[in-house]
Amino acid sequence: MMLAIMMAALVQVAAPSARVLPPPSAEALRLGRELADAGTLAHLLPLMESAQVAELVGENVDMAASDQAALRATAHKVFVGGAERLLAGEGLSYARLLSISALRTIVGFERSAAGRAYRAVTPQVITGTMAAVGKIDFKGEVRAAFCKEKGKLCPGK
């Protein structure tokens, strides 16, 4: 579910806008990618990989240990390729949508001691947030609210 939400958000960010944007400069591309590599998505992806691979292996407990290891290795190869495409797309979007000045400022922060400290705790913040929130079922919550408000989309109706 979390991966689907992140993918939908990335598609929205990467979707072309109504206005035609000039191609980003080499500097903008470099800074955009650096920003993507330091961002939340870059921190979320390994957490998602770990959870998804554990689930996949858990669904196939009858496999020999060597096959489970091979499955984990294959999953990691697939993950690396997918993560690269996502981060490249995110970096390109930053390069297209932010000015060079904004990119320099944001990347400057990311390179600072405060930025490094922020990045160092980001995975724990994400994990802690997800643990505190628990399971999120957006569609289920919308259905329940709509059922209460309009009497429609109610379970069993």
Q: Residue 142, Cα to own-chain centre: how many angstroms?
A: 23
User: In the prediction, which pLDDT does 137 show?
Assistant: 87
Assess contact for 130 and 124: CB atoms under 8 A: no
pLDDT tens-place string over residues 127-139: 899 889 888 888 9
* Domain locations in the chain as residue ranges: 24-150
pLDDT tens-place string over residues 23-40: 999 999 999 999 999 999
Work out the pLDDT band at 147, boundaries 50, 70, 90: very high
User: In the prediction, which pLDDT does 157 show?
Assistant: 66
Higher pLDDT, residue 65 or 6: 65
**Residues 5-23: what's their mean pLDDT?**
59
Q: What percentage of the chain has pLDDT greater than the value 70? A: 87
**Residues 7-32: what's their mean pLDDT?**
73
Work out the pLDDT band at 3, boundaries 50, 70, 90: very low
What the block records as the tokens of 125 is 């913040």
From 47, 6, 1, select the one nearest 141 (Cα to Cα): 1
From 118, 63, 86, select the one nearest 3 (Cα to Cα): 86
From 126, 133, 102, select the one nearest 39 (Cα to Cα): 126
**Residue recorded with tokens 């929205």:** 12
In terms of average pLDDT, the best of 5-19, 43-57, 88-102 is 88-102
CA pair distance 39, 102, nearest whole angstrom: 15
**Alpha helix segments (H runs only) across the chain:** 2-14, 26-38, 40-58, 65-97, 100-111, 113-133, 138-150
- Residue 24 CB: number of other CB atoms within 10 A? 21
What the block records as the tokens of 68 is 């489970």
In the predicted structure, residue 6 carries a pLDDT above the cut 80:
no
